[in-house]
């Protein structure tokens, strides 16, 4: 039985507590939050859970085996680091840390102490993204041509991070999970409509070695909610619409075929294929339930999580590069640590 402590009971914390509570092999023993009214709510719903205002008390609690950090990003490193030092396994919200240096230090600390360090890349535990990874992995799509995502809505303007760190982080974690390659450079643009606040609309292009490109459009200022990803391959293409209730993934048997040696140079070199469309049945489990079970399983068996610290670091490196590029109106920035394949 893994005893879990959760720091932060704001927007996402309740979902974490609920999902860990429903696991057979785990129990939530403590919740910390600075706001007494949030703790009162915990007590009404979960009379058996101990509550505290100081995260340090939770981290020091011997009745806690694993710590979940669900605070604003700026506190991720400090709290996760303290928890690791106290010998606790850690599940930290995305993005993993405020910068890649912090992320690296957490990885090192976890490795040194042989503790599980996992990042809450929730989407990779959905049936939809698992299916996309499977389709990419088995070669169903052929060579990958592009990844394009739109993640916009009229949403909360965050105070501490910009819209890429808030929304595009989902896309970057999905890409990290399903694509066989890492981006080698980034060009990003964006704007803050409220002076002095983080950018609330942003566009981010990622370049790869080879004929592949990726792009994310993220915004807190759209009148409609869109969650749509296109993944194009030489054999098939996927449309992943997360707002669809029953057909989130559609696979199109469409594409182009290039004739490498046309007799007549004036001929069209590119041919089109359109064919059937297919929407595979997806697993319908709640992603966070799958993820919580996976974390508990990794802790129990000392295994490496699918969304480990390295995955978290790779995502943070992309966000860092995007921020740097945005400051320069799209000037491309190379990704550190990625070597051309």
Alpha carbons 189 and 121: distance in angstroms, whole number: 24
Phi and psi based region of residue 222 (left: phi greater than 0; alpha: psi -120 to 50; beta: remaining): beta
Q: Which of 85, 281, 285, 341 binds its own copies (CB under 8 A)?
A: 281
Q: Which of 58, 69, 129, 239 binds its own copies (CB under 8 A)?
A: 239
Residue 57 CB, shortest distance to its own copies, in Å, is 23
Contacts 24+ apart (CB under 8 A), 192-197: 192/162, 193/221, 194/157, 197/157, 197/159
Residue 154 CB, shortest distance to its own copies, in Å, is 6
- Contact between 74 and its own copies by CB under 8 A: the answer reads no
Alpha carbons 341 and 337: distance in angstroms, whole number: 12
Alpha carbons 245 and 124: distance in angstroms, whole number: 18
- Contact between 62 and its own copies by CB under 8 A: the answer reads no
- Contact between 278 and its own copies by CB under 8 A: the answer reads yes
Between the CA of residue 317 and those of 23, 80, 81, 123, what are the distances in Å? 33, 18, 19, 19
Tell me if 154 sits within 8 A of 222, measured CB to CB: yes
- Contact between 289 and its own copies by CB under 8 A: the answer reads no
Alpha carbons 213 and 201: distance in angstroms, whole number: 20
Pick the closer one to its own copies by CB: 241 or 310. Answer: 241
Q: Which of 34, 193, 303, 304 binds its own copies (CB under 8 A)?
A: 193
- Contact between 310 and its own copies by CB under 8 A: the answer reads no
Give the interface with its own copies as residue ranges (CB under 8 A).
Answer: 47, 145-146, 148, 150, 152, 154, 156-157, 159, 185, 187, 189-195, 197, 201, 203, 205, 207, 211-213, 215, 217, 219, 221-225, 230, 232, 237-239, 243, 245-247, 250, 252-256, 258, 268-270, 272, 274-281, 325, 328-332
């Amino acid at each position: 039985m893994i005893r879990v402590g959760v720091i932060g009971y704001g927007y996402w914390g309740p979902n974490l507590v609920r999902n860990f509570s429903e696991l057979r092999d785990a129990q939530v023993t403590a919740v910390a939050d600075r706001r007494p009214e949030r703790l009162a709510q915990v007590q009404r719903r979960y009379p058996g859970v101990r509550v505290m205002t100081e995260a340090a008390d939770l981290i020091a609690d011997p009745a806690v085996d694993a710590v979940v950090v669900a605070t604003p990003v700026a506190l991720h490193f400090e709290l996760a680091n303290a928890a690791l030092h106290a010998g606790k396994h850690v599940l930290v919200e995305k993005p993993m840390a405020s910068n890649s240096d912090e992320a690296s230090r957490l990885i090192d600390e976890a490795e040194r102490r042989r503790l599980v360090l996992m990042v809450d890349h929730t989407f990779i535990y959905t049936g939809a993204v698992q299916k996309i990874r499977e389709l990419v992995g088995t070669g169903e799509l052929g060579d990958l041509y592009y990844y394009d995502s739109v993640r916009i809505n009229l949403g909360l303007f965050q105070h501490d991070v910009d819209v890429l760190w808030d929304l595009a982080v989902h896309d970057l974690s999905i890409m990290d999970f399903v694509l066989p390659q890492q981006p080698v450079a980034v060009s990003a643009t964006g704007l803050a409509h409220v002076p002095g606040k983080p950018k609330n609309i942003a566009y981010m292009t990622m370049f790869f070695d080879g004929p592949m490109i990726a792009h994310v459009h993220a915004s807190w200022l759209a009148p409609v909610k869109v969650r749509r990803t296109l993944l194009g391959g030489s054999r098939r293409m996927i449309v992943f619409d997360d707002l669809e209730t029953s057909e989130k993934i559609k696979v199109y048997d469409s594409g182009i075929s290039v004739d490498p040696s046309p007799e007549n140079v004036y001929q069209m070199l590119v041919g089109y294929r359109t064919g059937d469309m297919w929407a595979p049945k997806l697993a319908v489990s709640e992603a966070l339930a799958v993820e919580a079970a996976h974390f508990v399983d990794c802790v129990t068996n000392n295994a490496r999580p699918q969304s480990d610290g390295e995955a978290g670091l790779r995502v943070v490196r992309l966000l860092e590069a995007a921020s740097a590029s945005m400051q320069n109106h799209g000037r491309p920035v190379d990704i550190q640590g990625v070597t051309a394949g």
